[in-house]
Structures are given as C-alpha cells and as structure tokens.
Structure 1
Amino acid sequence: MAIAVTGATGKLGSLVIEALLRRVPAGFITAVARDSAKATPLADRGVRVHIADYDEPGTFRDAFAPGDRVLLISSDSAGARHTFQHTTVIGAAKAAEVELLAYTSVLAAPAATYSIGRDHHATEEAVRRAGVPYAFLRNGWYNENYTGHLDAILEVGQVFGSAGPGRIAAAARADYAEAAAVILTGPVEPDAIYELSGDSAFTLADLADEISRQTGRPIASPHLTPAEYHAFMVGQGVDAADATQLVEADSAISRGELAHANGDLRRLLGRATTPIADSVAAALAAIGSVAR
C-alpha cells in the first residue's frame, strides 16, 4: 500500500508530501509529477516518483496499485479540459482498485455559482460515477491567494478586488496540506466530505488594514466593480479568461459563498487555523519588507 499524490511538486502537493514525510516512511509515498527534474529531490529522499501528465492518460499506467490511497490535486485548467484531466486520474484509480481517492475540491462545491466551483463539482460527480471510495476535501481560499501578491500590493498601495464587503474564511495553504495528510494516513472513511476553511473570515478591507498595521504604510481597498477589476487584471497581463474566472469568484465572495467556517479544518489539524495576520507577516519576511 502506498499513498500517492498527484501534482506532487506543485505548491500544495509539495506541502502535502512534506506533511506525509512527517507521518510515514518515504518508501510509502508515491509522488506523481510531470517534471522529472523537479521530482528528483523527492526521489533522493526515498520517495517513489512516477512521471505522468494529466493530459496523457497512458502516463498514469502503473501509477497506482490495489489498496493505494490517492490524493488527486486539482489541476489549474478550466472547463472541459479540467474535467478531462481529472477523469484521467479517476479512471486510473478505479482500474487499480485503490482504497481511497481523495480530491481537493472547493468549499461548498455543489452550491457554487462561479465557474471554478462548478468545475470542481463536475469532478466530484465524475468520482461518484466511477464508484471509487472517495473523500472530498473541499478547500476554502488560501491566505496565499492574497499574500502571494503582497509585493505588488505594497508597490501600488492598494488591495484590488471586487468582492466588496464579502468575507473570506481562508487559511494557509500548509493548513490544507496538513489536513490532507491527516486524512490520507488516518482511518479510511469512504465517501467522506470535509468542508475546510479558516476559523475566521476577513474582507479585503480587513486585509488592507492588516497590511497597513504591519508595515506602517497606508494601504487602500477600493471597491472595484467587476468590470473595473477585470480591466485592471487584463492590464496587468492576466489572461482575459482567467480574469473572468477571478471576477466570478469575487462576485461569489460578495454573496458569502466562501465565508463558511464550520470548524472541519481545525478539528483535523487539532489546532487553530493560520490567521491572515500570520500569513501577512510570513510574506513580508519572505520579501524582506519591514514596517516603517
């Protein structure tokens, strides 16, 4: 039996691998990755590496074995390609007769009104149709969705978005990775659903205030209309289709779709989730910014 993680060298996948290595021997872990060079450090640590590409179903042959537990980390594609890529992994997991297929979905996916959420729900339905024992890890937003652009926020002195007063129950990416490791190494609960989110929710204005507090710089949070936010992102070089998805997500936030905090993540971690203030501090340290 192995624990296999797809997208293992990505931002979330690499954190999941590290969390697993704290729990099980490296030889119990299979890292499924597209880039062999990026996966080499894992192989050097004793992790089994399988090179595969979501777009090439044949590459998943022998990726999994009977009794494996598999974490399917969502690709960053959209629409039909998103579903096709995930169906590739689902089919391989079913053929291998895995013990569990866990999927990183999104908070309250069945009720999502935005395209990212609908894509995740489509994958959930594909998993159900396959008849594989599953666990849906419905992750809320990551703190890093915002702190990952902190250098740009500091440069312009503004937090951008069209979510208005909508609240975001986010947590650190490492929190979600730790929760995935807990599920993958614990007792199997077939067909379990976890609604994972931060303990408390913040608005974009709250985020601006926190950055200002930690840096001593005035940070504004103008309420952009969806059209204004879309135009801003395109002007910054974001692909128009990607910008549309992000605007849709902000509109969902404004309607409260990502504000739900039921405590599932806290219970899995056995501790509080990482507040946005801590993630802001970590991001400031990473870019070498200091309060002044």
Structure 2
Amino acid sequence: MMTTKTIAITAATGQFGTIALDLLVQRKANVIALVRSPEKISNAQARKFDYANIEGQVEALNGVDTLILVSGNEIGQRFPQHNNVIQSAKKAGVKHIIYTSLLGASNENTVKSLAGEHVATEQALKESGVPFTILRNTWYTENYTGSIGAALANNAFYGSAKDGKIASATRADLAEAAVNVALSEGHEGKTYELAGSTSWTLADLAAEISKQTGKQIPYIDIPAQDYAAALVKAGLPEGFAGLIAEWDVDVSKGALYSEDKTLEQILGRPTTSLADAVKAAL
C-alpha cells in the first residue's frame, strides 16, 4: 500500500523493530528509524533517539506523521521513558502514535508484573491529545521456543504454567500487524487485543518438540520457586528468573489466553502456527 506520510519507528534495531522496519522499507513507505546508534541502520534514514534522554527527541520527531512507539525493555523504567517520547511527539506535531502494549493489560487477570507500566503509558497517550492506536500484543511465541535448546539438553521442558493456554504469536506476526495499522487508515482511538489464532499449552509445545525431533521431551510442571531456582542455576540473574517463574504462574491462571481474532483480521491470515514456530526455532 503506497503512502506519502512519514512513519517513524523507535527501537528499530531491536528484534521487533528490525522486522517492522524491513517490512516498511519493502512496502516503499517513507520511514525513519529512531535508534541509539544510527550507524547500525543501512536500509533507511536513521536519527539518533534515546527513550531515557528527552534532549533531541523533539528534533528527531520533526516531520513525522505516524510514530510506532515500540515499548522499551527496561522493566521499571518503561513508563517514564514512554512518557518522554509521548510528550516529545506532541511537541513535534506527530499526528498518530501506535503503541505496543500488553494483551489484556487492564484486565484483572494479566501478566501482573508488566501490566502497570503499559496501563500508565496507555493513560498518558489518552491524556496527550495526540491520536493514538494501542496494540495490546500477546506474548511472542519465541519467548518459549527460545527454550527448546535447554529442553533438548535436559530431556524435558520445565515450567510452572500448568495447563494454562497461551494464545501467542510470533514477533513477525505482531510486527506485520503494526506495519499494517501504520499504513492504513481508521485506527485512531482504537485499542486492539492482539492474540494468536490458536492457543496451546506447554505440554502441547513439548509434544510438538518431541514430534519434530523424534526425541521424547515431556513437559514437567514444577513449583514456581523450584523453576526460578533452576533458572538461576542455568545462569539467569535471580530477579529475572523470579519474574519468568511468576509469568508462568500468571499463564496458569489464563493471563495469556484469548479468543480475540483481531490480529488475524489485521493480518488478513491466521497467525503462524506453533508447529511452524517450532520448526523455525529448530
């Protein structure tokens, strides 16, 4: 779809941002990559941009019509950083902000340790007066397929999610949805819950790994504190290991289960299947 508007994307060297930027370039969009290290961008115009440093943000956003604000990855610092960007975008005259939030962020049953900063950002967007679209992204399938190597080494997939269903989608699915929204009209003021077309459990994931590798990999559910301890033993920092285990507990309570088909509608196709995601990871 051709467009004359200028689209900027933050964190364009990150895993999500890289995919979205490539898609925008492929679709001949007038795109600007907003990054800490502009020299890392070779396929588009790049401007120096840092969530934490408000200095230079307004200048970097000058002439931008639509801003894809990819949520930051510093848990605990996200809201002040996002708010910096929102205020700078308002000053620069940005006409539309698309923000990547969290599935079910304002629900009672959500990924609790992450939801607060997303809800605060959504509120700041609404109060800014800048037209916005909120993309409440589900968990990346890669968050789980990234553990396949460990599962094969341990001859089991460990977790604490019980039989909680996960309506995940791949990074590529969610990045494409953000690009589709940026390149089309009529999304202002909307909040979209973006979930995968199908849901699966960690036992389903273990079964799929077994099927594709020919190796028997069972799913073994263990108490969250034991899972956190195992992650620390595997080399993860204690705080982060505790968070991962806590996220699994949220999953066991249905925090990542959704039957919403909005993502499928925005993509014009079903999301990537678990089997395809496992195949890609292997």
Report the TM range for the smaller structure's normalisation.
over 0.9
User: Runs ≥4 in structure 1, deviation > 4 angstroms?
Assistant: none
Provide TM-score, normalisation by structure 2: 0.94
Say which SS state the counterpart of residue 29 (structure 1) adopts.
Answer: strand
Q: Deviations over 1:176-218 (max 9, x none)?
A: 0110010000004211111101111110011000000000001
Aligned-partner residue type, residue 88 of structure 1: N
Q: Does 2:54 align with 1:57?
A: yes
Give the alignment partner of residue 90 of structure 2, picking from 83, 94, 100.
Answer: 94
Match of 1:3 among 7, 13, 29: 7
Aligned partner (choices 165, 168, 190) of residue 167 of structure 1: 165
Distance 1:234 1:176 in 2: 30
2:258 aligned residue:
260
Q: Percent identity between the aligned chains? A: 38
- In 1, the alpha carbon distance for the partners of 2:191 and 2:70 equals 15
- The residue number in structure 1 matching 2:67 is 70
Superposed CA RMSD: 1.4
Gaps of 5+ in 2: none
Alignment counterpart, residue 38 of structure 1, candidates 34, 37, 40: 40
- 2:7/2:64 contact within 8 Å kept: no
Q: Is the 8 A contact 2:97 2:133 kept in 1?
A: yes
- Inter-partner Cα distance in structure 1 for 2:137 and 2:187: 18
Kindly report which structure 2 residues correspond to 1:217-236, keeping only aligned pairs within 5 A, or say none: 217-236=215-234
Cα deviation per residue 1:33-64 (whole Å; 9 max; x = unaligned)? 1123322x22xxxx210111111111313121
Q: Deviations over 1:148-174 (max 9, x none)?
A: 232222111222221111010011110
Q: Which residue of 2 aligns with 1:289?
A: none
Partner of 2:78: 82
- 8 A Cα contact 1:161 1:229, kept in partner: yes
- Taking the aligned partners of 2:98 and 2:84, their CA distance within structure 1 comes to 14
- In structure 1, C-alpha distance between the alignment counterparts of 2:249 and 2:263, rounded to whole Å: 24
Give 1:93's aligned amino acid: A
For residue 243 of structure 1, report the CA deviation from its aligned partner. Answer: 2.1
CA contact (8 A) 1:116 1:249 kept: no
Unpaired runs of at least 5, structure 1: 285-292
Counterparts of 1:178 and 1:216 in 2: how far apart (Å)?
33
- Structure 1 residues 61-109: Cα deviation after superposition (integer angstroms, max 9, x where no partner): 3121356100110111112x11111111111111112111011001010
